Amino acid sequence: MSEPIIEVRDLVRKFGSRSVLNGISFTVEKGDTLIIMGGSGCGKSTLLRHIIGSLKPTSGSIKIFGREITTMPPKELEQLRLRFGMNFQFGALLQSLTVGENVALPLLENSRVDPSIVDLVVKLKLELVGLTGFEHLKPSEISGGMRKRVGLARAVALDPELLFSDEPTSGLDPIMTAVIDQFTIDLTRKLGMTAVVVTHDMVSAFHIATKMIVLGAGEKQGQIIAMGTPDEIRNSPNAEVQQFINGEPDGPIPLKLAPEDYITRLIGRPHREDL
Ligand SMILES: Nc1ncnc2c1ncn2[C@@H]1O[C@H](COP(=O)(O)OP(=O)(O)OP(=O)(O)O)[C@@H](O)[C@H]1O
Ligand SMILES: [Mg+2]
């Protein structure tokens, strides 16, 4: 088999004394869609930021296209990033620019793109995410779900070999979610793009994934608790994984405090009837 597109080995990231990522290892092959799942705050976005090189690990190795990025000089990393598309969790659109100008930004910044085709590419990418005719509006004049799709159009403006997408369908209706899912499937299965997608949307996750990882919480914070194909994850014997993918409120992942703990947290001391 050819070299993986992404190879993460023993990745550790501490914030202070807290290990948010704690010994993460996995590979992503060309054409794969890797889904990263796990509870809120478990470290999914942090993991993504390390893979794109915007955060440096405490220890461990990250190779993209066979090249170690954790020690790469910033200029080289910038060059390598021209081969990535990045769709951030909170959009990160420039508010002063129109939708069209936001999508055009990576095209204008890349000297290899002929300026005469920029408008055409912008129209094409907006059409792919169902936003034909919205290029003249400002981000503040469109809905949250539409802004997400503008972020995705911008991320694929340069036809990246590798797409990173953080919660691309959160806040979208089911039909638009299906459109975005199909878009990712077309890019990966027909054009050979590789994708890494963080999502809480289980329907979407199982629809587009070729490989999945689930990050743990509590004692398992920062560790991969399950990894495999969608079928392997669906049939995982791990109770935490089952609780997560089935959205069950009770199970090994504690979501509620015992009543006494809750009162202690609220009033700052244990509750006593006689006080
Ligand atoms: N720069 C930072 N400094 C300190 N702690 C951080 C920093 N970045 C992230 N964290 C912590 O790392 C943990 C994981 O955050 P992260 O944003 O990766 O979670 P997530 O899995 O993406 O959650 P969500 O599903 O809510 O988006 C959080 O507890 C967060 O407070
Ligand atoms: Mg996140």
In sequence order, the 6+-apart residues with CB closer than 8 A to the CB of 58 are 12, 13, 14, 19
For 58-64, what is the mean pLDDT? Answer: 97
> Bigger pLDDT: 88 or 274?
88
pTM of the prediction?
Answer: 0.87
Query: Which residue has its alpha carbon closest to ligand 1 atom 4?
Result: 15
Cβ neighbour number for residue 195 with a 10 Å cutoff: 25
Instruction: Tell me how far apart the alpha carbons of residues 197 and 164 are, in angstroms, rounded to a whole number.
Output: 6
Give the residue from 155, 176, 194 where a domain finishes. Answer: 155
pLDDT tens across 89-116, in order? 776 899 999 999 999 998 998 778 888 8
pLDDT of 274 > 70? The answer is no
Instruction: Give the DSSP H/E element, type plus range, for residue 51.
Output: helix 44-51
Residues 108 and 164 in one domain: no
Query: Which residue has its alpha carbon closest to ligand 1 atom 16?
Result: 43
Pocket of ligand 1 (CB under 6 A): 15, 20, 38, 40-46, 89
Residues 19 and 43 in one domain: yes
- Which range (131-135, 167-171, 199-203, 239-243) has the least confidence? 167-171
- Mean of pLDDT over the chain: 90
Residues 257 and 224 in one domain: yes
Residues 67 and 120 in one domain: no
> Bigger pLDDT: 244 or 164?
164
Tell me whether residue 273 is in a domain. Answer: no
Tell me whether residue 26 is in a domain. Answer: yes
Tell me whether residue 79 is in a domain. Answer: yes
Residues 170 and 260 in one domain: yes
Quote the DSSP letter at residue 116: G
Which CATH number characterizes residue 48's domain?
3.40.50.300
HSE (side-chain half, CA atoms, 13 Å) at 43: 29
167 contacts 145 by C-beta, under 8 angstroms: no
Q: Which domain holds residue 226?
A: 6-83+160-267
Cα angle value 48/64/57 (rounded, 5°): 50
